[in-house]
């Protein structure tokens, strides 16, 4: 019966579960190691993508069903990515107004004053 559904064996399921647990440990240890912020973000996001891919491929049976359901999954993931990129300009605008950083207009005024005193 199991073969009729083309599902992976129980042994493979347990191997994947072990891999997921190890990957969770890698993220956890990376967080404890006080890595530089950029490196930590890259590490934990890469681990999350690998874990999600393993779950989708083997537990959700996309290894077998991908060709049948990709037409529904690909547009959803693409639109989801578009949503994030559409909001990126908001992040950039806000980062330009960090507290303690002089706005460009003030800088130009001080520059003008310096020119006048000379």
Three-state DSSP state, 61: coil
Cβ neighbour number for residue 58 with a 10 Å cutoff:
20
User: Based on the number of CB atoms within 10 Å of its own CB, is 118 exposed (0-12), middle (13-18) or buried (19 or more)?
Assistant: exposed
Whether residue 64 contacts residue 6, with contact meaning beta carbons closer than 8 Å, is answered with: yes
Rounded to a whole number of angstroms, the minimum distance from the CB of residue 18 to other proteins is 9
Task: Provide the token pair at 82.
Answer: 């578009």
Is position 11 an interface residue for other proteins (rule: CB under 8 A)? no
Residue 50 CB, nearest approach to other proteins (Å): 10
CA dihedral (78, 84, 85, 87) positive or negative: positive
> What are the φ/ψ torsions at residue 34 (nearest 5 degrees)?
55, 50
d(CA 72, CA 68): 9
Among 36, 87, 104, 115, binds other proteins (CB under 8 A): 87
Indicate whether 1 belongs to the interface with other proteins (CB under 8 A).
yes
Binding mask 14-53 for other proteins (x = CB under 8 A): x-xx--xx--x--xx-xxx-------xx--xx-xx--xx-
**Among 34, 36, 84, 104, which residue sits at the site for other proteins (rule: CB under 8 A)?**
84
- Per CB under 8 A, 2 contacts other proteins: yes
Residues forming the site for other proteins (CB under 8 A): 1-2, 4-5, 7, 10, 13-14, 16-17, 20-21, 24, 27-28, 30-32, 40-41, 44-45, 47-48, 51-52, 55-56, 59-61, 65, 68-69, 71-73, 75-77, 79-80, 83-84, 86-88, 90-91, 93-95, 98-99
């Amino acid at each position: 019966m199991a073969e009729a559904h083309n599902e992976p064996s129980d042994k493979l399921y347990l191997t994947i579960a072990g891999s997921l647990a190890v990957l969770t440990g890698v993220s956890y240890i990376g967080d404890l190691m006080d890595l530089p912020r950029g490196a930590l973000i890259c590490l934990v996001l890469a681990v999350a993508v690998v874990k999600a891919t393993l779950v989708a491929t083997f537990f959700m049976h996309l290894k077998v069903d991908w060709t049948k359901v990709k037409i529904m999954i690909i547009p959803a993931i693409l639109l989801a990515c578009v949503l994030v990129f559409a909001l990126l300009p908001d992040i950039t605008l806000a980062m330009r107004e960090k507290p303690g950083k002089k706005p460009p207009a003030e800088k130009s005024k001080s520059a003008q004053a310096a020119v006048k005193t000379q």
